[in-house]
Structure 1
Amino acid sequence: MDILSVIGAILGLVALLGGSMLKGAGLSGLWSPAAFVIVILGTCASILLQTPMHTFSRAIRIVGWVFFPPPQDPHALIARMVDWSTTSRKQGLLALEPLVDQESDPFLRRGLQMVVDGVEPDTMRQMLEIEAQAQHHRDTSAAKVFEGMGIYAPTLGIIGAVLGLMAVMKNLTDPSKLGHGIAAAFTATIYGIASANLLFLPMASKLKGVVHRQQVEREMLIEGLIAIAEGENPRNIESRLNGFLH
């Protein structure tokens, strides 16, 4: 679990609810079904119009990475590749074949299988880099779905406020309704700005960070597998791959 995301979500909720209470608006002042429909549903509608189905589906699948990012241990991965290199130099590349099916990561499994099959290093690099770049593009596009929601939400909040003020203008002859109507109008603005800056944009940044770390790990993996295929010294491989950690 990403403890910083949990703390951030809690603090954001406390800031919004606590601020409303301290300012005297109360919790009830934040609730507005009309504002919810205009801002939240409107934001969802906008992003659905913008996003292809496969990208939106991927965004839904990776949203959990905000709080539960995929486990990453580059130090352990480097140690494993050094062990693979030592084994291959002593027993040959075919000695790595039993390890292929033990890997849960499809990318790593395919790369290791290429090493066992004796694929030329240049060909292996080209194939793995194409796959890594394609995956990086898919995941980055999925993370930008939430970035788009963070862009649309404040604008829809303004639309909600304008619609609320239009309703207020129709009741100018009844002063008793003016205060409540104006407050309800600005609730939509709060929904838009708060959802963008406390939810959607931070989620997008967090996801893009996870995606970037995965890409760096794939690049490190490609370098390690190529070095194993070329029969480099395990210590040299370890020194080269440690550069990715900085």
Structure 2
Amino acid sequence: MNIFSIIFLVVSFGSMIGAFILEGGSPTMLAAGSAAIIVFGGTIGSVGLGTSPKKLKNIPAMLKIIFTAKEKDLVEIVNYFKQLSFKTRKEGLLSIEAEITDELDPFMKKGLQLVVDGVDPQMVKTILEFELESTYDRHKENAAIFESAGGFAPTMGVIGTVMGLVQVLSNLADPSVLGEKIAVAFIATLYGVGSANLIFLPLGARLKDLNNEETKEKQLIIEAVLLMQEGANPNILAEKLKGFLDKKQIKRFDEINNEGIQ
């Protein structure tokens, strides 16, 4: 479980509700069943109308990824390929076959299998890059579902507010309850804008961020596989792959390898 996602979600809602309470409001004042039905029901309906059923079925899997995804350890991958490069230079490319197990990352496994099968380097690059592009586009489309919901929700909120005000204006006989009814009407706008900016758009942004991380990881793997296939010196291979790392990751990589030398 990605605890940070849960923490920031709680902080978002907690800040809004906490500030409302500090201003003298009560959490029960924010509860409006009719507004929730209009906003969330309308948003779900609009998203469902504009999205294929096949993609909608992936939403539970997307949410699982958002709240359980682990940070990509690029340092470990660079170090893995450096050690594997030492092995192939000593025992040949066919020695990689022993490394191809079910525990290995599927994309990495595919790249190594292509090398073992003796596929031409240019074809290896083409195959892996095509899979990378396909994965990137698919994940981008998944993120667009939440971004779409983030666009519909505020509009549904406005619709809910207008519907509420229509009821208010059609019944002005009792001025004493007008304030309460108007407040309830505006809850729909709150739900729409709040859900868009606290739930839907952040979820879409998180998926895009995870997609970018995965893309970077796969680009590193492609480069590593090709360098290893051409028989690059392990140290040269590592130096080139370090270009995918940030300063902290490079420092950590150097520390790990310096410990191995001592």
CA distance in 2, matches of 1:147, 1:77: 32
Aligned ranges for residues 170-181 of structure 1 at < 5 Å? 170-181=170-181
CA distance in 2, matches of 1:24, 1:162: 26
* Range with bigger deviation, 196-205 or 65-74: 65-74
CA distance in 2, matches of 1:212, 1:58: 19
CA apart distance, 1:226 = 0.7
Aligned to 1:89: 89
Deviations 1:190-227 (A, max 9, x none): 10111111111111111111110000100010000011
CA apart distance, 1:11 = 1.2
- 2:21 paired with 1:21: yes
- Structure-2-length-normalised TM-score: 0.89
> SS in structure 1 opposite 2:24?
coil
> SS in structure 1 opposite 2:58?
helix
Structure 1 counterpart of 2:48, one-letter code? L
CA apart distance, 1:189 = 0.6
CA distance in 1, matches of 2:138, 2:56: 10
CA apart distance, 1:3 = 4.2
Aligned to 2:227: 227
Aligned to 2:217: 217
Contact preservation (8 Å) 1:63, 1:207 = no
Deviations 1:111-136 (A, max 9, x none): 11001111111000000000011011
CA distance in 1, matches of 2:99, 2:244: 24
Aligned to 2:36: 36
CA apart distance, 1:108 = 1.3
CA distance in 2, matches of 1:142, 1:30: 31
Aligned to 1:192: 192
Deviations 1:158-201 (A, max 9, x none): 00000000111121112133122101100001101111111111
Aligned to 2:111: 111
- 2:150 paired with 1:150: yes
Structure 1 counterpart of 2:114, one-letter code? M
Unaligned runs of 5+ in 1: none
Structure 1 counterpart of 2:117, one-letter code? D
Aligned to 2:131: 131
Aligned ranges for residues 2-17 of structure 1 at < 5 Å? 2-17=2-17
Structure 2 counterpart of 1:24, one-letter code? G
Aligned to 1:236: 236
Structure 1 counterpart of 2:170, one-letter code? K
- 2:208 paired with 1:208: yes
* Range with bigger deviation, 65-74 or 213-222: 65-74
CA distance in 2, matches of 1:188, 1:95: 63
> SS in structure 2 opposite 1:67?
helix
> SS in structure 1 opposite 2:34?
helix
Unaligned runs of 5+ in 2: 247-262
CA distance in 1, matches of 2:226, 2:54: 32
Contact preservation (8 Å) 1:38, 1:157 = yes
Aligned ranges for residues 39-118 of structure 1 at < 5 Å? 39-118=39-118
* Range with bigger deviation, 22-31 or 210-219: 22-31
CA apart distance, 1:71 = 4.3
CA RMSD, 1 decimal: 1.4
| Fraction of identical pairs, as percent | 37
